[in-house]
Amino acid sequence: MLDRRFCVAPMMARTDRHNRYFLRRISRRAVLYSEMVTTDAVIHGDRARLLDFDVSEHPLALQLGGNNPAILARCAAIAEAWGYDEINLNIGCPSNRVRQRKIGVCLMAEPEVVARCVSAMIEGCGLPVTVKTRIGVDERTDVAFLDDFVGTVAEAGARSFIIHSRSAILSGLCPKQNREVPPLNYERVYRLKRDFPALEIIINGGIATLDEAAARLALVDGVMLGRAAYENPYLLAEVDGRIYGDASPVASRDTVAESMLPYITRQCAEGVPLASITRHMLGLFRGCRGGRAWRRHLSENAHCSGAGPEVVRDALGPILRDAA
């Protein structure tokens, strides 16, 4: 059974396999989530490109976007065969692309459809099926609406819900605004846990520090961080010890950077542009002496033709000399 006390949120164009490999150099225990992959992409796209991951990324969940129970069940079976640990159904994304396909948060208004999808996915694979959603959508923001949604989907077999603590306003707000404008309502998530004590409730949205995460664990079963974990990835360094009680040694920032070099060498040899990897590493030394120079060197040089691990070594050199 996955221990979801601390999770890193699925983020489009961010939590790809390179990012997840990098984060796993920092925390061994945090549960990592893929970017959302639509069912059409899984069925008709390049599966290796979309689904491949390094074995070290476990525990790892695949987030799916879709609204057809039979196709979602087929994709869940594919994900299980691919080696994922969990399937997460996206009922929270407010992006225009997602809304045009009638998936994501717009499905929150159709709990029966979501319930049929979840039921089919559970029957189609042996993995845990979780649901990521919000506290409401458009004018449907009352307690009864959220309780009805969760109750209906739970009856179909879902036992774990990740709740973004904002509602989504689909008329008038862009996706970026939906991450910032609707007010956070953590109490609504806490109440949901009180109303459904047998369900696993994981809180998401606006949590920026490990202190905040630890405090919220007194009221819910797990926490999920998104932008904070991406922009300041080294905050994961204390997750294993503080959240999971793991006494294993914590890797230093420079050790994390150095541990990426063999991976970068392999990936570049396979034709992966260096910048596709290092863009996820820019925040590693955030708040540290030399952090701005690290970020600048990677940003300015990783895009150069033929760039490889030497760019990271050169960026790391001044930091190591200052520490000596």
Does 92 map to a domain? yes
What is the rounded CA–CA span in Å between residue 20 and residue 49?
A: 15
Does 167 map to a domain? yes
Of 197, 219, 242, the domain-final residue: 242
* CATH code: domain of residue 303: 1.20.120.1460
Q: Structure pTM?
A: 0.96
Confidence of residue 100 (pLDDT cuts 50, 70, 90): confident
**What 3-state class would DSSP assign to 90?**
strand
Please give the structure tokens belonging to residue 117. 């999808």
Does 1 map to a domain? no
Specify the number of domains making up the chain.
2
Does 30 map to a domain? yes
Do the Cβ atoms of 244 and 271 come closer than 8 Å? no
Give pLDDT, residue 98.
Answer: 75
Within 8 A by CB and 6+ apart from 3, the residues are 29, 31, 59, 244
Does 247 map to a domain? no
93 classed as catalytic = yes
pLDDT tens for each residue of 150-180: 999 999 999 999 999 999 888 777 777 877 7
pLDDT averaged over every residue in the chain: 95
Task: Spot the catalytic one: 75, 93, 125, 268.
Answer: 93
Does 314 map to a domain? yes
| Strand residue runs (E) in the chain | 6-8, 31-38, 60-65, 86-90, 129-134, 160-164, 200-204, 222-225
Taking CA atoms, 291 is separated from 40, 297, 320, in Å, by 41, 10, 12
Per DSSP, what are the bridge partners of residue 203?
163, 223
